[in-house]
Amino acid sequence: MKSFLKKIKIKSEPGTKFKEQDQLLRQVNSLFNVLADIYGSDKIVLRAGKMNVLQMMRSEYLPERVLALQKLVFEDPTLDTIPEPDKLPELLDLIEDEIADIIARRTVEDELDKKINERMQQRHEDYVQEIKMQIVKENAGSENAQTLKKLAILEKLEQKNLVSSAMDVLRPASIKEIVGQERPVRALLSKLASPFPQHILLYGPPGVGKTTAARLALEAARATTHSPFEQEAPFIEVNGTTLRWDPREVTNPLLGSVHDPIYQGARRDLADTGTPEPKPGLVTDAHGGVLFIDEVGEMDPILQNKLLKVLEDKRVFFESSYYDPTETNIPQYIKKLFESGAPADFILIGATTRDPEEINPAIRSRCAEIFFDPLTPQDIREIVLQAAQKLDVSMENGVESVIAEYTIEGRKAVSILADAFALACQRSCGRQGASIALSDIYEVIQVSRLTPYVTRRASLNGEVGRIFGLGVAGFLGSALEIEAVVFPARRESGGVIRFNETAGSMARDSVFNAASVLRRLTGRDLHEFDVHVNVVGGGRIDGPSAGVAICLALYSALENRTIPQNIAVTGELSIQGLIRAVGGVPEKIYGAKQCGIDTVFVPQENENDIPGDTRGIKVIPVQNVEEIIGHIFPAAPNVN
C-alpha cells in the first residue's frame, strides 16, 4: 500500500497555498494508511476496484483523491461529484468521524469475538470433561464397595431356602385332586375350555377350592386344541379386598394409571422432558389369559364399573393433561398407549363368598355363574387322606373323622393335619418314623380353640314335639332344632303362646299360621292351651321356611305322637295348609347331610331345585301339610 501511495503524490505550488495543500495531502495519505491498517492492503485494493476508484486514488488532483477516499469509507458507489477545494477540510472531518466509528465498531466486535471465543472454549472444555466423566463412569460401572457388599449379602440369602410350606405341598396339583366339586369343576371347564370362553363368577363358602379350580381349569384349557388360550396364557391373581385406587387416577393397580412428570414422578428421562408415562395395570398383564379376582364382591363399586368398561372395550385408555400429541420428542410406545390404549382382552373369573344379590348386577349379567358346594364330612375325610398320602405319613384310625367334625373347609382340614404332622415329627425327632396320632389332632384342636362344627345330630329314635327344620346362611345350610310343648290353659280366659324373641318376627308369624292349620286339621284351638315354641340355641330365622317344621312340632305335641329324629323339613306354611316354595334347597340338603339326617321333605314347587346328587339323602317333595303328616306319622303311634 505504501508503494501504491507513493505513486499518488501531487505537485504542489510554493507559498501558503502550498502549505495548505501539503497539509491536506498528508491528511488524505494518513487516512488511506488508517484504512489499510483496518481492512488490510489487499482488501483496500479489492474494494477500490469494486468502487472503480483506482484511477482516482492515483490522481494528482486532490479533490478526486478525496472523492475516492469518500467512496471507500462510506462504501457508496453513487458518489460521483468531485468536491470543491474549499469543501475538502469539512469533508475530511466527516470522513475522519466515519473512520473513527468504524474503528470503534471494530474494537467492540473484536471484544465480543474474544468473549465469544472464550465462552465457546469454556463450553467445549466442559463438554469434553463431561464426556470423560461419562466414559469413566461406564468403565467403572454403577457399583462401589458398599453396593457390592449388599449384593453379596442378597446372593447369600438367596442360597438359603427352607423346604416348601405344607400348604404348597398339599395344594391340589390337578383337577382330579379337587374333592367334592365334580359338578362345579365340570361346569367351569366347559365354560373356560370352549372356543368362546365366558367370563365366570364362582360362588361358594371359603376353603372349598374356588381359586385352585380356576387355576387348574386354565391349565386344562391350554391343553385342549379348540381353546383360544395359548400355552403361555397368564393367570393373574388378585384379591378384591386389597385393590386400592385413587379417584384422581394417581394410582390404579388394576386398570393402570399415568405417572405425570411433576406429581407422581415419571421416569427421569421422561420427567426431564415433561412427558407423562402410562403404567399399564393387571388387566393388561392378564391379556390373552385369565384375570382371577378373589372376593370380587369386596371391590369398590366405582372400580367395578370401570372394570365393566374394560370388559366391553377390551382395552384401557389413558388420559393426561401433560400429554401433547403434537410433541415430537415423545417415545413411540407412549404415543401408542395414549392414542390406542393398552390391550386388555382377558377372561374374568371372580370368586366370592357373598350372595348373588350382593354382586354388581352389571357384572353378573356378563358372567356365567357357578356355585361351589359346601364340603361334607365325607369330603373332608377324603381330603385328609389325600393330604396324608402327599406327606407320606401314616395316621391312627379315626384321625380323618375327628378332623371332619371340626371343620367344613378343605383348607382348614389340611392346616389341622399339617399342624398335627409337625407335632408327630417333633415327637419322633424327625420325619422318619413319624405317625399322626389322635392325641396330636386333639392337641391342635385344643391349642386352636376349635369347636365341633355340627352340634346337632340325627338319631333313629322318635320324640314328641321335636323336629329338625332347615336354614341357610350364605352358602351353608344347617339344621335347626325346633321343639314345642302344649299344656292345658291355666286361665279360663285362654292360654298363652310363647316364642323366643331372637327367632324373629317372621318365625312368630309362622306360629300363628300353624295355629290356624292345626285348628282346621284337629279341631283344637291353641287358645285353649299354653303353648311354648322354642328354637334351640336361639337361632334366628330370617324367612318363613320354618313354618312347616313349627306346625309339625305343635301337631306332635298336641296329638302326643313321636316324630322320627332322622328327618328334616323345610317350607313356608300357608293358612290353608299348603307348603310354599323356599330358597336355598341345595344348601339345606347339605346341612341335613352334615347332621346325619337321611330324609328331607321339601315343597313340591322346589322339585326342580333338588340337585342331581343328593349324596345319600332321600328328598321327598310334598304339596300340603296333610301329605307330609301321612309320611311321618303312620309308623309313629300315639304315646298314651
Active site residues: 545, 588
Q: Exposed, middle or buried by CB within 10 Å (0-12, 13-18, 19+), for 10?
A: middle
Q: Cell 417333633 maps to which residue? A: 426
SS (H, E, C) 178-228: CCCCHHHHHHHHHHHCCCCCCEEEEECCCCCCHHHHHHHHHHHHHCCCCCC
**Spatial distance between the Cα atoms of 552 and 630, rounded to a whole number of angstroms:** 11
**Spatial distance between the Cα atoms of 635 and 552, rounded to a whole number of angstroms:** 15
Quick one: which of 579, 566, 584 has its CA closest to 622?
Answer: 579
Residue type, 613: D
All three cell numbers of 214? 380356576
Contact predicate 62/28, CB 8 Å:
yes
Report DSSP letters for 469-521, one per residue.
Answer: EEEEETTEEEEEEEEEEEEE-SSTT---EEE-GGG-HHHHHHHHHHHHHHHHH
Q: Which helix (H) or strand (E) element contains residue 165?
A: none
500-529: b or e for each residue (b if 16 or more CB lie within 10 Å)? beebbebbbebbebbbbbbeebeebebeeb
- Residue 347's alpha-carbon distances to 214, 289, 291, 300, 303, in angstroms, are 11, 6, 6, 20, 17
**Spatial distance between the Cα atoms of 133 and 122, rounded to a whole number of angstroms:** 16
